Amino acid sequence: MSTLEWQEARHALSAGAMDRAHKEFVDLTNQLAEADAASEEKRLALLLAHCEDHFAQEQEWMQRSRMPAADNHLRDHDGVVALLHSTLAELRAGRRGAGREVAESLAAWFDHHSATMDAALALHMQQSAPKTQDGIPAVG
């Protein structure tokens, strides 16, 4: 059973690259939620790598488009990355199930973060600069 369901009307932000990364986040979160003990650590590591890459991309977009209030957005990302690192450490210390538990909390986090901070970023990018085909601001 999926922890998080991609809902186009709810989650799509009309920002191509961001929407694709968010769909991948949903898929990876669900894979973690459904992981067995043998694959839980690997699934969490994949989700962590995805988050680190995607959050770095969003940070670049915020910097390039001069996004106001970017600090709050980045702090939210930092909190998720810290949570995933600590959960990975718990798994490596033998606490099975920790990854599946964090997947549940990430589902609620994603719904809120996407609807607020990422929606604001997508709107800012759309309003502040011409965009490429992938929704990336074309600013120098």
Q: Is residue 26 part of a domain?
A: yes
pLDDT digits (tens, 9 = 90+) for 62-121: 998 888 889 999 999 999 999 999 999 999 999 999 999 999 999 889 988 988 998 898
Confidence class for position 129, pLDDT limits 50, 70, 90:
low
> What is the pLDDT confidence band of residue 17, given thresholds at 50, 70 and 90?
confident
Residue 75 lies inside a defined structural domain of this protein: yes
- Sequence-separated (6 or more) residues with CB below 8 Å from residue 18: 58, 61, 118, 121, 122, 135
Please report, for residues 12, 23, 25, 137, the alpha-carbon distance to residue 109 in angstroms, rounded to integers and kept in the order given.
16, 15, 12, 26
Among residues 97, 105, 87, which one has the least CA distance to residue 29?
105
Is 38 within the bounds of a domain? yes
What is the total count of domains within the chain?
1
Using left for φ > 0, alpha for ψ between -120 and 50, and beta otherwise, residue 14 falls in: left
What distance in Å separates the CA atoms of residue 17 and residue 79, rounded to the nearest whole number? 22
The pTM (predicted TM-score) of the whole model is: 0.85
> Does residue 111 fall inside a structural domain?
yes
Which residue segment(s) compose the domain that 64 sits in? 13-128
Is 8 part of a structural domain of the chain?
A: no
Give a yes or no: residue 6 inside a domain.
no
- Decide if 104 is inside a domain: yes
**Within a domain: 135:** no
CATH number of the domain within which 73 lies = 1.20.120.50
